[in-house]
Structure 1
């Protein structure tokens, strides 16, 4: 009854496969600290003739340039966190006085002074600086998680595109074969004088249409393969087909349970970390209002009488005019701005999630309608008309019409299946993991 049973090999749940590939999409307790991506364990030479979704995700995770760039930024933020915790360097001063002054005597004679000064940060500046750098690193971690989830979702969608295009090409091939069979049958009937030559013209048009549809399907298949290979910087020539099961559909969990998981999505966690970073920056600006203390210790050596004098001193700017009022006010405004951006992101994510869930639910209903009603009815009608045509009860035009209806129904069913899995990947991108947790 269904059109994929003999053509597609069963694969695990589209998104849940990540958990079996030891390639988790997202860690919700804490953002991961990725190391520099190692050379991929799956190279073009080991892909093989047929590509699976786990291979696609592995290649993407280890070779995608955008992910590599994000991991480099995380290591840069680590270096900045280290820099933020370093103490100010001490300063060594040396000067000499009264050289070439022959009349200067005693303590007014030649003298050499050495002085060591150390800046002591007050007001918790160093602690605030470390906290701000750590928050900046956490934001980078969540940026990486968000980008990783997004890229893997897009790679999954590209894989589904190839899988759907491949099935369309197979369907077009079968349609062409059937059209060629009809042309041969009608040609024999025309030679026997059983039907008019006009009937042969009709089936020839049908054959030409099927050939055109096959060429179009093959072009789309080739284009989708190249789009997929671009996720790991590869080429469509590295594989010939993909293996998957478009008909593998699972019931959707309740909307309420997915809404709970949405609140822990990488996108929202990223903006919560950004809010914490802005709060740390505000504390850092407030700490700058407290002046720092400089301690000085040194001595002067008088060369004429070989005497020594010790020098001790402190210095501190007086916060009369500059108390970092502008820096504090700017940090407060940016904190308010980030809070508003967080609310906007929550609204956008909630809206996109709700729309995607409803679209997914509607597509699932459409698929069930095709499975239970449309495809069986179209198949039954085609068989009945074909049988009636051999008995002389139906005209050739009826056969061609039911044939076209059947293949159009199969093509629409394919499009619905592809749309379902595309939409599912979008939904799982939003929540940062598999929709059906029990499949992991």
Structure 2
């Protein structure tokens, strides 16, 4: 199975997601509706996965909050009445003073811009989180797809094992009729056929379970496909570890920390801006009922010592900002180790799978053929033939396991670097 880059979508989160583990299968001229490809599974997941769809609402909420952050302080209309409904000369409303005024706040210290910057940073972080989550979901889907392909290969191997067991049973029965083989070997051969049937049934049911697990990625409960399209044994070229790690540093998982740092920077700016006192102004007109005169009124107020009151918030914001850098460094160290493990395991498994396919399996197939001929001629025992058959089947199973390890490791590398290994 060969990995390659898919076409980029218009939205960054989608093309980065599709870039992940984009196993391109050698397609037939016409694909059956009952056959699923990985690209189809990726597209369905991007369109219908509930975990990814929820980010649409997160973005809408953050954009709505940004709209609020852009607003300037509201204007207030005030109506005051004084010196009425009292005693003596202030009885009734004849000596009342009524004032109609407008008031508002003049924000100082760049508070409005700090709020907008904070809202923009949160939107940016949500976008990177969406991309990182998309890569995680599609990485999980890809790994399960590879495991399901391995199960398909195991079904074919189990069918081969069953065919060998049935063929061996016929040979043993024929030799038993000739008196060259005891009846006990016939019974053992019959038991071997039964065990092969049990193994085949188990692998078939395992594949049915995996199909349901695949379908859940796009919200289905009943799989509409019966087989998966793909080959486990196409690996592609290797790349240098340093080149891969350089790409990891710009991956969405790391960019989430970069956006987190911008949020913390905005919080520091916002906390410092909060230390600057705002001016509250008031302007209006007052009417004196006793004389019928009117006069303008104006007022200006500013809180005292607000800078000292906000110093604690600034220190807390700075501490949170510094913690982000250490968290990013810790993640890079862990990702470095994870990437190197996947890189080394992929290289090792490619070597094992290649040698097994080119050297070991042909030798064991030839050995089984010669052992069977020798058994039919009475030169080898039944146990020798069984051992040769089991050794071949075990080696083919190891070949499948090595190939699936290559592709799962490759999928992890692509998820970590958010870029396909082959271009």
Q: Could you tell me the TM-score, scaled by structure 1's length? A: 0.87
Q: Which runs of 5+ in 2 are unaligned?
A: 18-30
Alignment CA distance shift 1:390-1:191 (3 Å): closer
Deviation string for 1:344-370 (max 9, x for gaps)?
111111111111111111111111121
* Contact in 1 for aligned 2:414/2:421 (Cα 8 Å): yes
**2:370 equivalent in structure 1:** 384
Alignment CA distance shift 1:22-1:367 (3 Å): farther
Alignment of 1:155-166 (within 5 A): 155-166=141-152
**1:365 equivalent in structure 2:** 351
**1:300 equivalent in structure 2:** 286
Deviation string for 1:166-211 (max 9, x for gaps)?
1111210121122112212322332233322122022122112211
- 1-structure distance, mates of 2:217, 2:263: 32
- 2-structure distance, mates of 1:70, 1:382: 57
- The alignment status of 1:341 with 2:327, answered yes or no, reads yes
Alignment of 1:86-125 (within 5 A): 86-101=71-86, 103-104=89-90, 109-125=95-111
* Contact in 2 for aligned 1:26/1:433 (Cα 8 Å): no
Deviation string for 1:206-236 (max 9, x for gaps)?
1122112112211221221122112112135
| Number of positions where the alignment pairs a residue of Structure 1 with one of Structure 2 | 410
**1:311 equivalent in structure 2:** 297
Task: State the Cα distance separating 1:387 from its structure 2 match.
Answer: 2.3
Which of residues 388, 400, 416 is equivalent to 1:414?
400
- The alignment status of 1:278 with 2:269, answered yes or no, reads no
* Contact in 2 for aligned 1:125/1:287 (Cα 8 Å): yes
Task: State the Cα distance separating 1:280 from its structure 2 match.
Answer: 1.3
Judge which range, 362-371 or 136-145, deviates more.
362-371
Alignment of 1:23-422 (within 5 A): 48-101=33-86, 103-104=89-90, 109-319=95-305, 322-422=308-408
- 1-structure distance, mates of 2:264, 2:94: 56
Task: State the Cα distance separating 1:18 from its structure 2 match.
Answer: 3.6
Judge which range, 151-160 or 96-105, deviates more.
96-105
Q: Could you tell me the TM-score, scaled by structure 2's length? A: 0.91
Alignment CA distance shift 1:320-1:268 (3 Å): closer
* Contact in 2 for aligned 1:73/1:140 (Cα 8 Å): yes
Q: Which runs of 5+ in 1 are unaligned?
A: 1-10, 32-45
* Contact in 1 for aligned 2:251/2:416 (Cα 8 Å): yes
Task: State the Cα distance separating 1:165 from its structure 2 match.
Answer: 0.7
- 1-structure distance, mates of 2:105, 2:348: 67
Deviation string for 1:138-172 (max 9, x for gaps)?
11111000000111111111111111111111210
* Contact in 2 for aligned 1:122/1:293 (Cα 8 Å): yes
Deviation string for 1:285-312 (max 9, x for gaps)?
0111110001111011223433211111
- 2-structure distance, mates of 1:352, 1:233: 30
- 2-structure distance, mates of 1:70, 1:369: 46
- 2-structure distance, mates of 1:381, 1:282: 73
